[in-house]
A = this chain, B = another copy of it.
Amino acid sequence: MNRLKHKILDEVKEDLEGIETALRENLSPHFDLVREIASHILFSGGKRLRPLLTVLCARLCGYAGNYDKTFSIIFEYLHAATLLHDDLIDDARLRRGKPAAHSVWDNSTAVLTGDFLLARALSIGTETGSLKIIRIVSEITENMSQGEIRQLMRKGNLNLSESEYMDIIRCKTAVLIQGACRVGSLIADAGEKEESALSDYGFNLGIAFQMADDLLDYTSDSSVLGKEVGADLKEGKLTLPVICSLTTANSKERSDMEKIIKSKAFSVEEFETLVKMLRTCGGLRYTEQLAEKYVERAKDALSVFDPSKTKEILLNIADYALSREA
């Protein structure tokens, strides 16, 4: 485990425990099958990044009440619901190193459990009694489904542009992390300045996280990643490392890459060849640098807050976005 991750986990240990408790308590009144399936996705080693951000952002804005963890799980539910529907769409075999829910149960169960978690997230949202929070949660949901539909429409499209890619990751990842941070400030009844700063922090962090995720698909191995390497490509999803490399490649390189990309049943060797080309064509480096820029923006957004332990954790989380291995 890398050092930064260790440090962060050490400092948020109690918060994470509180979040686990809130998740378990919220699910427990529900009948068996729903709980079982929801638990499969909810308790299989997720990072709890989103609820953790809500809790930390609320604290950064001076919140000292008891509802931060209760409300924070909205964002884990939304995340889990998306994963359930996503894995089914991508026909993914592994999720977090375990078989994806739709291959343990069936597609129908995965769809319905996703629906249930979505509905639950919105119910918890209404419990906040804040119209603003509810509006944010429903906008996130709408954005995420639109992002997924756009991604699906573009599947297998070798001409996907960088701006189309940015639009997809904004919808499918950044708005959720942004919402988790923004709602943290709202739970704390923070002012507009703080709300806007944490909204910026979350948005930029979300973009950086997704870019790092997309990089890992080319640079990690499957035992660490908990899912198949090259999975994005096999699903026909073009991400920034490839998009950028296809643009800068000469025509010979481009046609070599396209051949591998189009043959979705590429061998390990072919995949390694492709990764080498992503390196020589600069796609990996470009993505890393852009992600770094977003991390810097996320950190800059926190400048409105005085130094504190919580602020430092949030800064560390931003740095961790790029240094993580899975």
Interface residues of chain A, those whose CB is within 8 Å of chain B, are 30-31, 33-34, 85, 88-89, 107-109, 111-116, 118-120, 122-123, 125-126, 129, 131, 134-135, 138-139, 141-142, 144-146, 148-150, 152-153
Contact = CB atoms under 8 A, between A and B. Distances in A.
A88 B116 contact: no
15 contacts: A33-B149, A85-B112, A88-B107, A108-B152, A115-B118, A116-B145, A116-B149, A119-B145, A120-B142, A123-B138, A125-B138, A126-B134, A126-B135, A129-B131, A134-B134
Contact of A145 (B112, B134, B145): B112
Given A89-B112, A152-B112, A142 B119 contact: yes
Given A88-B107, A108-B152, 6 more contacts: A34-B149, A89-B111, A111-B111, A118-B145, A119-B145, A126-B138
Oligomeric state, in copies: 2
Given A131-B129, A138-B125, A115 B152 contact: no
Nearest to A117: B145
B31 A115 contact: no
A118 B118 contact: yes
A21 B88 CA distance: 34
Contact of A33 (B30, B33, B153): B153
Contacts of A34: 146, 149
Nearest to A33: B153
Contacts of A126: 131, 134-135, 138
B107 A123 contact: no
Contacts of A145: 112-113, 115-116, 118-119
A129 B131 CA distance: 7
B31 A109 contact: no
A116 B139 CA distance: 10
B115 A138 contact: no
A119 B149 CA distance: 13
A115 B148 contact: yes
A172 to B, nearest CB: 11
Nearest to A81: B115
Contact of A122 (B113, B115, B122, B148): B122
A31 B112 contact: no
